[in-house]
């Protein structure tokens, strides 16, 4: 699964550390999600979407 978390995070002026703190995860988790190395749980994906003000399906994309 791919995502556009990094672009949306930067557009909101958030650092990886800020986002991690707001989501209750480590900075490494944010880095892994941004690099498509970690697929978040549904709960975390929904928290990311809420934080970034976007629907889940506009942030996460299934690869063909």
DSSP 25: S
Residue 17, helix vs strand vs coil = helix
Note the pLDDT of residue 63.
82
Q: Which residues, 6+ apart, have CB-to-CB distance to 39 below 8 Å?
A: 1
Question: How distant, in Å, are the alpha carbons of 15, 44, 57, 63 from that of 18?
Answer: 5, 15, 23, 28
Domain that holds residue 49: 2-61
Kindly tell me if the per-residue pLDDT of 64 is higher than 90: no
- Tens of pLDDT, residues 7-60: 999 999 999 999 999 999 999 999 999 999 999 999 999 999 999 999 999 999
- CATH code of the domain containing 34: 1.10.260.40
Number of domains in the chain: 1
């Amino acid at each position: 699964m791919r995502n556009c978390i990094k672009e949306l995070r930067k557009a909101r002026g958030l650092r990886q550390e800020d986002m991690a703190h707001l989501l209750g995860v480590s900075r490494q988790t944010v880095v892994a999600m941004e690099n498509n190395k970690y697929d978040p749980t549904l709960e975390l994906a929904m928290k990311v979407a809420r934080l970034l003000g976007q629907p889940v399906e506009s942030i996460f994309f299934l690869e063909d």
